[in-house]
Amino acid sequence: MAQDPLFEAPRDRLGRRLHDEVFGALPALLGKALDVAEVAAAVRPLLAQGWRPAQLGARVGALPEPSDPVPAVVAFLEQLLERDSPEQAWQRERAERARVQAAAADPEHVVASDEARAHWVAQARRALGVPAPGRRPPPPRTAPVCAACRGEGAFFVTRQVRLCRACVELLSSGRAHVAVSA
């Protein structure tokens, strides 16, 4: 069985092509520093788990550049081993969406309309002998009392004082005056 040239590697390092696919977008000095056996040993299981080389390179490129990049990158890649690959996460989300769509298509899981729900509740109340909750009509609104004649005060003067139309006309004619108390 011939080995894939993408994974051919001298001295347990990544092959040149694979190394370029994973770390090619990084600065040249950083990419060269990461061309070691420890990094290759951390990258290979991730590739086998379903990570794509560009996904690994993008995540490594987003790391802050430490003074000694190899241990930091190896630790980060080992943390990625504990997580699902983006492919696995996508497969899980796709399966969840398919499950939700299948449940939504099932006629037994259709949410009842408001009318159907009201009908069912009314039927259950009748069976249990519970009277339907009645809506009390709101109390009739009464207009405030006129401060001068105790009629229906329709005109606002102050917060506590309302006047009726006849008293407003009397005041506007000048035949009556408002006594202001301090």
Radius of gyration of the chain (CA): 40
Separation CA 64–CA 62 (nearest Å): 7
Last residue of a domain, one of 64, 87, 110: 87
147 and 83 within one domain: no
Residue 134 lies in a domain: no
* Residue 119 covered by a domain: no
Alpha-carbon distance 116 to 107, whole Å? 15
Name which residue leads in pLDDT, 182 or 93.
93
Q: Is residue 101 part of a domain?
A: no
Looking at 87, 107, 123, the residue that finishes a domain is: 87
Examine the pLDDT at 33 and tell me if it is beyond 50. Answer: yes
- The pLDDT value given to residue 128: 86
For 72-118, the pLDDT digits (tens) are 888 888 888 888 888 888 889 999 999 888 877 776 766 778 898 88
* Domain range enclosing 78: 10-87
41 C-beta neighbours (distance < 10 Å), count:
15
Q: What is the mean pLDDT of residues 168-181?
A: 79
Q: How many domains does the chain have?
A: 2
Please name the residue that has the structure tokens 């989300």.
Answer: 93
**Predicted local confidence at residue 182, as pLDDT:** 54
- How high is the pLDDT of residue 1? 41
73 within domain boundaries = yes
- Mean pLDDT in residue range 38-63: 83
Examine residue 44 and state whether it is found in any structural domain, yes or no.
yes
How deeply is 30 buried, as exposed, middle or buried, from its count of CB atoms within 10 A (0-12, 13-18, 19+)? middle
Percent of the chain with pLDDT over 70: 88
Last residue of a domain, one of 87, 121, 156: 87
Would you say residue 71 lies in a domain?
A: yes
Lowest mean pLDDT of 18-27, 65-74, 144-153, name the range: 18-27
Q: Given this model, what pLDDT does residue 114 score?
A: 87
Average pLDDT in the 153-162 region?
A: 79
pLDDT per residue as tens digits for the range 8-31? 545 577 777 887 777 777 777 777
- pLDDT of 5 over the 70 cut: no
DSSP letters spanning 46-100: HHHHT--HHHHHHHHHTS---SSHHHHHHHHHHHHHHSPPHHHHHHHHHHHHHHH
Query: Dihedral through CA 146, CA 147, CA 149, CA 150, nearest 10?
Result: 60
Q: Residues 147, 83: one domain?
A: no
Residue 122 lies in a domain: no
Residue of 86, 20, 76, 17 lying closest to 49 (CA atoms): 86
- What distance in Å separates the CA atoms of residue 167 and residue 149, rounded to the nearest whole number? 8
Does 182 fall in a domain? yes
This prediction has a pTM of 0.46
Could you tell me which residues come within 8 angstroms of residue 33 by beta carbon, excluding any fewer than 6 positions away?
A: 69, 70
